[in-house]
Chain A
Amino acid sequence: MDRVCERLARIVGENYVSNMKEELYIYSQDPGMMEPREPDYVVMPKTTVEVQKIVKLANEEKIPVIPVGGSLSLSGLVIPHKGGIVLDLKRMDKIIEVNERCRYVVIEAGVTTGRLKAYLEKHYPRLRFSIPDAPPSATVVGNIVIHGQGHLSQQYGFNSDMVTGLEVVLPTGEICKIGSCSVSPYWFSLAPLPDIAGLFLGWFGTTGIITKLGLRLYPRKKLRDIEVFIVEDPHLVPDVVYRVTHTEMAEDIFVNAQPYPPIFKDIIMMGICITGDSEEELEFKRRMIWNVLRTYIDSKEGGFMMTTPDVKRALLEMPITGTTRFADVMKGGGFEYCGPIIPVEKYPEAYKKLLELSSEYGVTYGNTCRVIGRGHCMMFAFGYPFNRADPDNMERTKKALHESNVASLDIGGVPWKPEVPAQKMIMARMDKNTLELMKRIKRFLDPNGIMNPGNWEG
């Protein structure tokens, strides 16, 4: 065991640090397409103080630190591009507090979305949080750090908009609380204080390590149902979204398109979820939504699809396993998507581009979009499954992904959780003063440049 490894072992215990080839190999990559790069060490702290000690050690040794949750961004955001210490946070898995009346939860950084879902369902059945479509092994904090979205995003915005407080270990080792929890025992809100949570959201761990999170919870209704509205013309999608969001009756709204099975080819399906405490409430919401789409039904430009109980169950599942199964479409164990956040009105352009790229590079596709806010924007996934055992297919998929990032920016969108090359594309188009501000913030917070280096570097 080398010197750094010994020091890490003294912090976390020797069972929870490794510099063995096998651990270095697994933590060198995620399930996406970015090139792997091995870390020098993998360490699994249990407490914030252990994280703090590791960060101080990393500063002394000038070694990069890469905080890792579920490693499921697919865009290589936790690949240790410059080696260093991978900090796997999954042992920090306490659900610290649920304040039922204030509807918030405080959790440690390693709590998975699956665990929080199960915990609330068992102990607080009237509360829920915004569950992303990522597998249940994704961590809640990991999803927040990348500005993730979930099934409540149409109602309440990005999952990162639901943050009520943070505990952060700064790159220089100080432990810092943000939001009401910095002056009060309660974690109810970031306001009314100056909002500095943004220094850590969307930065992919380059400005600090979030060790605790306060998160808004929302009422959980007894019943949940889905209606599926289908159209063939992508130009109708923005208006359908506009009309449905106007009713304020929907919970989640997502838009799906895929070429397989063939009966789905050229059909765009919009899933509109509704919730209620009674059948009457559901029926009222259903009727309101039907009413605003009536003209499309009458003109036969669109219509509601009959859904079997099995299909409904699959669409209402949280998280949706179908998203994960997309990785096996090519029997190849992989998919990655470029998922820009775009204005909803740009859906037709993005959809057209997806079909063009799929055809040009000979790769199949899957398109999932989620409406965020009342149509304020949407995540549009240029999704491509690939075959890990087929280098040619992987090469073509990489090109399609690259072109998707370019197209996203061209139509006025911004790639979500972008890979390092896409980050560079974004920064190249970014307002110069904004970019300089980002650099200044980064230099100020992380003078030794140890935090997840390679990301957001101009």
Chain B
Amino acid sequence: MSSYTKQIHRCFRCGYCKFPSDYAEYNCPSFSRFRFETYSTGGRLWLLWAWVKKEVEWSENLAKIMFSCVTCKNCVEHCPMKFKDDIVDWIVSARKDIIEKGAVLSSVRDFLNNIHKYGNPWGEARGKRAVWAEDVKRYKPGDEFLFYVGCVGSYDERGQRMARSFAELLEKADVSYGILGSEEECDGNEVYVLGEMGLFQELARKNTGKFKELNVKKVVTLSPHAYNVMKNKYPRYGTFEVFHYTEVLLKIIQEAKLKLSELNVEVTYHDPCFLGRYNNIYEVPRKILKNIPGIKLVEMDRNRENSFCCGGGSGNFVMDLLGGSEESPSRIRVKEAYETGAEILAVACPSCLTMFEDAVKNEGLEKELFVKDISELLKEVSK
């Protein structure tokens, strides 16, 4: 067992972890979805401790409770205790123990097996990874950026459109870049937070090995998940600079490499957890939106460090343990976006993009609220 077992009893189950700063709504995605105390961070930690003490046995239900945590870090943000920074690490460590015992949910097992076998969570053929990008340049030494597309950008139709938009913007701005194509491996962020450390190490080594081989100095990622893992977990495997694509786009705008036309529309922006709470990048995407003439940025009540997760973290953009209900986080969030009066829900994460696309349809809002990634918006207005 990992060292978390010596700390985990410190949770008082006070419930601050369920809320945003103003306490207006429940802000823990799994608690909002299921509402039993078991699905709050406190409930989860108490159950883990009970499991450690052998007061509860491992079960399918316990597995569902443990893996429905989307590791969005709302709890870390709002827990008043000194140990708060360790909470997600405790959950991840417990998952590691669970996985080592082979006691995972079938959806989690399939997710990890597919990545292990095929390099993506859907079990799609490796060769299909770059089908969307036949006309996109491959990275060659000397290019400024390696554009790391990631699994959602490579395989999901909506993610592919996002990736294509960003690639076109790089072309337009005359930035030298290239992708790895079918040689790209899953970034491993979800693998890490799901606790499969062996597979994570394998992925990190493969990716950094490839980067080293091609003498990559700068990587730009489409997904905040990839950005997070490369920035915070890859350094022990290799050294390179990592950027989220919005950082690169903002620089392009600031250097006036794109001319932007007017777009008179109200936009609300959703902070992805792995960009915001994990890496403190809140203003960069907003600055891009504010640079587009005509756009009026309206905030949802829950924004920045109080953002309400789409429910897709920890592999749930595939496993969807929180789906299937009006109380699913993505559906709650699109309703919140709609209530701002905005026509466009802007995102900066391919996982959020796919989660919200589905949620908008489920809510019957597809003619009233359009989910767009920032690069798509920028592409629309760039001349």
* Residues of chain A whose beta carbon lies under 8 Å from any beta carbon of chain B: 15-16, 18, 20-23, 25-27, 31, 42, 44, 70-72, 88, 90-91, 112-115, 117-119, 121-122, 135-137, 321, 324-325, 327-328, 331-335, 387-389
Query: Contacts A22-B65, A25-B50, A118-B23: A137 and B18 contacting too (C-beta < 8 A)?
Result: yes
Sample of 7 A–B contacts (CB below 8 Å): A90-B35, A115-B23, A118-B23, A135-B15, A321-B16, A327-B12, A328-B10
Question: Is B239 on the interface with A (CB-CB < 8 A)?
Answer: no
CB < 8 Å neighbour of A321 from B36, B80, B83: B80
CB distance from A436 to the nearest CB of B (A): 38
Q: In chain B between 18 and 38, which residues have their CB closer than 8 angstroms to a CB of chain A?
A: 18-19, 22-25, 34-38
Contact between B24 and A324, CB atoms less than 8 A apart: no
User: How many angstroms from the CA of A119 to the CA of B301 in the assembled complex?
Assistant: 12
Question: Is B134 on the interface with A (CB-CB < 8 A)?
Answer: no
User: How many angstroms from the CA of A327 to the CA of B81 in the assembled complex?
Assistant: 9
B83: chain A residues at CB < 8 Å are 328
User: How many angstroms from the CA of A16 to the CA of B37 in the assembled complex?
Assistant: 12
CB < 8 Å neighbour of B37 from A21, A27, A112, A335: A27
A137: chain B residues at CB < 8 Å are 14-16, 18-19
Question: Is B258 on the interface with A (CB-CB < 8 A)?
Answer: no
Contact between A114 and B50, CB atoms less than 8 A apart: no
User: How many angstroms from the CA of A397 to the CA of B14 in the assembled complex?
Assistant: 20
Query: Contacts A23-B38, A44-B36: A135 and B59 contacting too (C-beta < 8 A)?
Result: no
User: How many angstroms from the CA of A388 to the CA of B35 in the assembled complex?
Assistant: 26
User: How many angstroms from the CA of A113 to the CA of B23 in the assembled complex?
Assistant: 9
User: How many angstroms from the CA of A77 to the CA of B94 in the assembled complex?
Assistant: 31
CB < 8 Å neighbour of B36 from A23, A113, A328: A23
Query: Contacts A21-B59, A91-B35, A328-B82: A121 and B22 contacting too (C-beta < 8 A)?
Result: yes
User: How many angstroms from the CA of A72 to the CA of B14 in the assembled complex?
Assistant: 8
Question: Is B352 on the interface with A (CB-CB < 8 A)?
Answer: no
Contact between A333 and B16, CB atoms less than 8 A apart: no
Best-surrounded residue of B15, B16, B50 (most CB of chain A within 10 A): B15
Question: Which B residue sits closest to A93, measured CB to CB?
Answer: B26
Query: Contacts A324-B14, A325-B80: A115 and B25 contacting too (C-beta < 8 A)?
Result: yes
Contact between A26 and B46, CB atoms less than 8 A apart: yes
B81: chain A residues at CB < 8 Å are 324-325, 327-328
| Besides A114-B24, A137-B15, A328-B12, 7 new A-B residue pairs in contact (Cβ under 8 A), listed by A number | A21-B61, A25-B47, A25-B50, A26-B36, A26-B37, A122-B24, A135-B14
CB < 8 Å neighbour of A22 from B19, B35, B59, B80: B59
Query: Contacts A26-B47, A44-B35: A117 and B23 contacting too (C-beta < 8 A)?
Result: yes
Best-surrounded residue of A18, A115, A137, A325 (most CB of chain B within 10 A): A137
B59: chain A residues at CB < 8 Å are 20-22
User: How many angstroms from the CA of A229 to the CA of B312 in the assembled complex?
Assistant: 51
Contact between A135 and B36, CB atoms less than 8 A apart: no
Question: Which A residue sits closest to B36, measured CB to CB?
Answer: A23
A70: chain B residues at CB < 8 Å are 15
CB distance from B17 to the nearest CB of A (A): 9
Contact between A324 and B35, CB atoms less than 8 A apart: no
B11: chain A residues at CB < 8 Å are 333
Question: Which B residue sits closest to A70, measured CB to CB?
Answer: B15
Question: Which B residue sits closest to A116, measured CB to CB?
Answer: B23
B13: chain A residues at CB < 8 Å are 31
CB < 8 Å neighbour of B9 from A44, A119, A333: A333
Question: Is B325 on the interface with A (CB-CB < 8 A)?
Answer: yes
B82: chain A residues at CB < 8 Å are 325, 328
B18: chain A residues at CB < 8 Å are 137
Best-surrounded residue of A23, A91, A121 (most CB of chain B within 10 A): A23
CB distance from A19 to the nearest CB of B (A): 11
Question: Which A residue sits closest to B17, measured CB to CB?
Answer: A137
Contact between A22 and B12, CB atoms less than 8 A apart: no
A388: chain B residues at CB < 8 Å are 9, 49
User: How many angstroms from the CA of A327 to the CA of B16 in the assembled complex?
Assistant: 13
A325: chain B residues at CB < 8 Å are 80-82
B61: chain A residues at CB < 8 Å are 20-22
Question: Is B55 on the interface with A (CB-CB < 8 A)?
Answer: yes
User: How many angstroms from the CA of A335 to the CA of B11 in the assembled complex?
Assistant: 11
Contact between B12 and A114, CB atoms less than 8 A apart: no
- In the A-B complex, the 7 residue pairs with the smallest Cβ-Cβ separation, listed nearest first, are A114-B23, A137-B15, A118-B24, A327-B12, A321-B80, A136-B23, A135-B14
CB distance from B48 to the nearest CB of A (A): 11
User: How many angstroms from the CA of A332 to the CA of B9 in the assembled complex?
Assistant: 6
CB distance from A110 to the nearest CB of B (A): 10
CB distance from A321 to the nearest CB of B (A): 4
User: How many angstroms from the CA of A25 to the CA of B13 in the assembled complex?
Assistant: 14
CB distance from B364 to the nearest CB of A (A): 21
Contact between B37 and A135, CB atoms less than 8 A apart: no
CB < 8 Å neighbour of A112 from B14, B23, B55: B23
CB distance from A113 to the nearest CB of B (A): 8
A135: chain B residues at CB < 8 Å are 14-16
User: How many angstroms from the CA of A321 to the CA of B23 in the assembled complex?
Assistant: 13
Question: Is B56 on the interface with A (CB-CB < 8 A)?
Answer: yes
B123: chain A residues at CB < 8 Å are none
Contact between A22 and B47, CB atoms less than 8 A apart: yes
A121: chain B residues at CB < 8 Å are 22
CB distance from A384 to the nearest CB of B (A): 14
Question: Which B residue sits closest to A334, measured CB to CB?
Answer: B12
User: How many angstroms from the CA of A337 to the CA of B36 in the assembled complex?
Assistant: 26
CB < 8 Å neighbour of B10 from A20, A26, A91, A331: A331
User: How many angstroms from the CA of A26 to the CA of B339 in the assembled complex?
Assistant: 35
Question: Which A residue sits closest to B82, measured CB to CB?
Answer: A328
Contact between B22 and A333, CB atoms less than 8 A apart: no
CB distance from B68 to the nearest CB of A (A): 12
Question: Is B124 on the interface with A (CB-CB < 8 A)?
Answer: no
A389: chain B residues at CB < 8 Å are 6, 9
CB < 8 Å neighbour of B15 from A18, A91, A136: A136
User: How many angstroms from the CA of A15 to the CA of B325 in the assembled complex?
Assistant: 10
